[in-house]
Structure 1
């Protein structure tokens, strides 16, 4: 088991990966640097290997797939994840790692948005998207994580080994944040300086496509983690529509004894039935969710015992 594992997912980062590996080796000399190459065609893997990294491969395209492979293959007391594009400063790594060991935190978030991100990032829609994601998750999940989509994070062993990765792409960071909040993990923020990519280095993030995936991920996880509120709100909307369209039909019936708008009446009935089904679906799913939470807590005990056993064997 490694003391510290620095995890660097990479796809065509030949321009910057050598510097990133050397910077983190200088700041964390006791760490093992892992570069996972995700089908790069520019020699990223060879440059990383020459700089002193352990190079491995993930052939399923997508950052989520790479992190899934990293988390399953590597055992470490502390994990530090960083992008290979040289946008995150290595000098913040020691503080983030120390918080895992000393504060016994489960996830440390490298907070770009409270420092230089909005000035350094030259893509205005990225800035807008980050602000929207942070606002929506803070409101929906009642948390205080400052940067939802940062790629610079530190993790404990128990977080890594109990995090079920479902996302395949860049929405993985959003999924990490929501998982930590929902499972009552101990999360701290560390403000970091952010610098834009150097000239010649191109972002792999599609502003609109990946942005839409992130928003759909938030909705999906909100439905999964907050079923009562999600389906209760849906039920309320359907019931309000049903009653709203039913009132004119009922008033006409009271005045004339006739129901001239049978299709409207039928739709109102089906809408109310859908509202009732949605309401009880939320209750049933909430019960299942509570059982999953209980199972997760038992998994934490199992993972903690496994961690202690592995430390004792070394």
Structure 2
């Protein structure tokens, strides 16, 4: 679809996408930064006969889904890494509970590889959560800088 933005949005929007995914990036950026979005109805006409669409449904859909995942990491790292951490911790518990039961019953740990796997998976889960916390702090700092950048852009735009 067609999109129009004010000068300040255009000046402060970091375009990182190489192609079709830019629509997703622009929309998510506008929503995340609380820009006002308006839908303007237009007349829609069918494609002229004999012309071909350049879109590839499957390929472009995959690109958009990968872009959404990437932007989720960029905009909400704590949420993403918390889910990853939960997954690894649950897998660690699944691998570790039988080892703990057997140790409680016999006093032995005959499944040493399972015990090591459980510890490694839980450790990866904790590490993922820690990465999420660190990245969330970085994102909050970046948001503050962006707000200052927008304020400065409005100040400059007002001088013209």
* TM interval, short-chain normalised: over 0.9
Q: CA deviation at 1:203?
A: 1.2
Q: CA deviation at 1:185?
A: 1.0
Q: Say which SS state the counterpart of residue 135 (structure 2) adopts.
A: helix
Runs of 4+ in 1 over 6 A off after TM superposition: none
Partner of 1:191: 41
1:35-64 Cα offsets, whole Å, 9 max, x none, are xxxxxxxxxxxxxxxxxxxxxxxxxxxxxx
Cα distance change of structure 1 residues 195 and 267 upon mapping to structure 2, 3 Å threshold: farther
**1:243 is the counterpart of 2:106:** no
Partner of 1:225: 75
Q: CA deviation at 1:193?
A: 4.0
Partner of 1:268: 118
Q: CA deviation at 1:265?
A: 1.0
Partner of 1:290: 140
**Larger relative helix fraction:** 2
**1:180 is the counterpart of 2:30:** yes
Tell me, which stretches of 5 or more residues in structure 1 are unaligned? Answer: 1-150
Normalising by structure 2, report the TM-score: 0.94
**1:258 is the counterpart of 2:121:** no
Q: Distance in 2 between matches of 1:252 and 1:192?
A: 68
Partner of 2:5: 155
2:20 maps to which of 170, 178, 184: 170
Q: Say which SS state the counterpart of residue 259 (structure 1) adopts.
A: coil
Q: CA deviation at 1:252?
A: 1.3
Q: Distance in 1 between matches of 2:42 and 2:114?
A: 57
Correspondence list, 1:55-66, <5 A: none
Partner of 2:152: 302
Two-structure CA RMSD over aligned residues (Å): 1.2
1:208 maps to which of 40, 58, 82: 58
Normalising by structure 1, report the TM-score: 0.49
Q: Distance in 1 between matches of 2:43 and 2:73?
A: 34
Q: Distance in 2 between matches of 1:205 and 1:185?
A: 28
Q: Distance in 2 between matches of 1:267 and 1:189?
A: 52
Partner of 2:127: 277
Q: Distance in 2 between matches of 1:285 and 1:160?
A: 26
Q: Say which SS state the counterpart of residue 185 (structure 1) adopts.
A: coil
Q: Distance in 2 between matches of 1:261 and 1:203?
A: 58
Q: Distance in 2 between matches of 1:240 and 1:203?
A: 45
Cα distance change of structure 1 residues 260 and 193 upon mapping to structure 2, 3 Å threshold: farther
**Larger relative strand fraction:** 1
1:222-244 Cα offsets, whole Å, 9 max, x none, are 01100110111111111111112
Q: CA deviation at 1:153?
A: 1.4
Partner of 1:48: none
